[in-house]
Chain A
């Protein structure tokens, strides 16, 4: 009797352990499934975020750009643009005696359109050529203009760049 009792107890305990193991395995599986779901949701969110961040890096907010243009003061002609910029900069320079710092400042503001070349006495169509060549070969030419004019302004000698009809004035 006692033997059978102990035997039953032993079997019951084994069965219980098995049940416990099965229960644990079930739990593990459920937990695994839950983790997989979480990972999947996270991965989807990550992919979406990455897409959005990549997209935002390569796309422009056009409304924001339009707002900037709406707030800007329009200059109506090449001469008035130059005069307006000179006035705004407080420069008293004349067209036939260009001020080095005024030339540099105009280049800084509207360099890609070549307006500074007009101020420096270059033939009037230079701005058209700057515009035609994608604002001076993707902005390279006005960028170099900017630095050479800066150096020339420090030396107070821009004679090399005045009345210079070459596209590459340097």
Chain B
């Protein structure tokens, strides 16, 4: 019995390492002929602790967990902002649901949505989700699956107008899931305008291959704390 316990003790880091994933992401957005690029590296641990290292346009670190306990660190000024909101949890990153094999609803159930309708068109399955509570900013979300993988999702505001749609493509098969290396989005700030964004994921590493030191990144103890007073509930604070 003792030997089994010791064996499990040695094995457990390997088991948890199996579910560590790192991926590089480049987000480009264009509108009116102008484009902006954001580059970041995402390091997701098996326990839900996520480190996001923004490289471009400026270097920032965001360390968060599944509870939304987030800290944003600016190395240049050695400042850290501590925030606590579910919106900033590691589940806020869309890829979290792909990496944790929750591709059916892309985490909508955990965000307070329930399945309202399912229909089949050709070889595609279209599922419609609606919020359980009317306070949600979105009135419905549609997700389209082909070959059990999401290829499209659309988000509608409280008035039923589409505000964004995302296309998932160029899937890469990993050992435990499939991951879209390309996500193209079109958002509609107004009825007559649109902004196109493109996210390209690359350098996906899983398990033993995910050895980046950024998985264990910790904010320096001497970082100056900038208090946000709960960023999401603050109603305007002027300097």
Chain A residues within CB distance 8 Å of chain B: 47, 50-51, 54-55, 58-60, 62, 65-66, 68-69, 71-78, 81, 84-85, 88, 107-113, 115, 121, 123-125, 127-129, 131-135, 137-140, 142-143, 146, 160-169
Contact = CB atoms under 8 A, between A and B. Distances in A.
Contacts of A60: 167, 169, 184
Interface in B25-72: 27-38, 40, 52, 54, 57-58, 60, 62, 72
A133 B87 contact: yes
B124 A129 contact: no
Given A60-B184, A71-B33, A143-B189, A54 B196 contact: no
Contact of B72 (A85, A108, A129, A164): A129
Report the 5 A-B pairs with minimum CB-CB distance, sorted nearest first. A72-B35, A139-B187, A60-B167, A58-B152, A166-B234
A63 to B, nearest CB: 11
Contacts of A109: 31-32, 34, 195
A117 B238 CA distance: 14
10 contacts: A62-B170, A65-B196, A73-B33, A113-B27, A127-B57, A128-B62, A137-B137, A138-B163, A163-B238, A163-B239
B180 to A, nearest CB: 12
B152 A59 contact: yes
B121 to A, nearest CB: 5
Contacts, number: 180
Interface in B153-181: 155, 157, 163-164, 167, 169-170
Nearest to A164: B236
Contacts of A129: 62, 72, 88, 231
B197 interface: yes
Contact of B34 (A47, A59, A107, A110): A110
SS class, residues of chain A in contact with chain B: helix
A35 B101 CA distance: 49
Given A109-B32, A132-B52, A59 B151 contact: yes
Contacts of B144: 58
Contacts of B235: 166
Contact of B232 (A84, A108, A115, A167): A167
B214 interface: no
Interface in B121-169: 121-124, 137-138, 144, 146, 151-152, 155, 157, 163-164, 167, 169
Looking at B32, B137, B155, B237, the one whose CB has the most chain A CB atoms below 10 A away is B32
A77 B56 CA distance: 7
B90 to A, nearest CB: 10
A128 B72 contact: yes
A51 B72 CA distance: 46
A52 to B, nearest CB: 9
Contact of A132 (B92, B137, B228): B92
Interface in B77-135: 81, 87-88, 92-94, 121-124
Contact of A140 (B57, B60, B138, B228): B138
Given A65-B184, A75-B35, A109-B34, 13 more contacts: A58-B167, A110-B195, A112-B29, A124-B58, A129-B231, A138-B163, A138-B164, A139-B195, A160-B236, A163-B238, A164-B236, A165-B228, A166-B234
B74 interface: yes
B35 A74 contact: yes
B142 to A, nearest CB: 10
Given A69-B28, A72-B35, A128-B62, A166 B236 contact: yes
B205 interface: no
